[in-house]
Amino acid sequence: MEKVFSIDPSLCTGCRYCEMVCSFTKERKFGPMLSRVKIIKIEEEGIDIPMLCMHCEDAPCKVACPVRAISRNDVGAIVINPDICIGCRACIIVCPFGAIKFDTKRGTLLKCDLCDGDPMCAKYCPTRAINFVVAGREDLIKRRIYVGKMVAPMIKGRKMVAVAEKWIERR
């Protein structure tokens, strides 16, 4: 069953636990520079948005690679083969999300590979702002939240319950 990332930025609290879990899982060290996922913040507005590789269906990075080093693996992740990669960074130029970085120290590209099908960022996100769901079901989370927020107030005094229930569902 193919799974995809489903992001809800309104739930991101900006805690950046995903960045630490990612860098630790992949590199056994803690550092945002090594993390494949990045939270972009506009603190004045209270905006926190997880930016990560969406493993596009029609991946521009795959198309742009001049040596065909980029392919989709069997868990559905777009991955770069370091043995073929020549480090030209065309993929970085074309990616609309900035999901690829170049590690100059090791001469390799850092990119999300879905952690063998169980992405750690989604696993440990405390509010499930980052979800890894069965493809085709990304809509359900949002629909349920909307119902909870908009329908519940019609039942007098139940709004607080809906807000809380939103959290309960996602744990």
Binding residues for another protein (CB under 8 A): 10-11, 13-17, 20-21, 23-24, 27-34, 41, 43-46, 48, 124, 126-127, 157-161, 163-164, 167-168, 171
The nearest distance, CB 77 to another protein, in angstroms, is 22
CA nearest neighbour of 97 among 50, 144, 137: 50
The nearest distance, CB 35 to another protein, in angstroms, is 10
Q: Parallel, antiparallel, or unpaired for β 47-51 and 130-134?
A: unpaired
Residue 46 or 96 having the CB closest to another protein: 46
Write the Ramachandran bin of 19: left for phi over 0, alpha for psi from -120 to 50, otherwise beta: alpha
Residue 28 or 143 having the CB closest to another protein: 28
In sequence order, the 6+-apart residues with CB closer than 8 A to the CB of 80 are: 61, 65, 69, 70, 91, 100, 109, 111
Residue 17 or 64 having the CB closest to another protein: 17
Residue 57 or 103 having the CB closest to another protein: 103
The nearest distance, CB 167 to another protein, in angstroms, is 6
The rounded distance, in Å, linking the Cα atoms of 102 and 130 is: 24
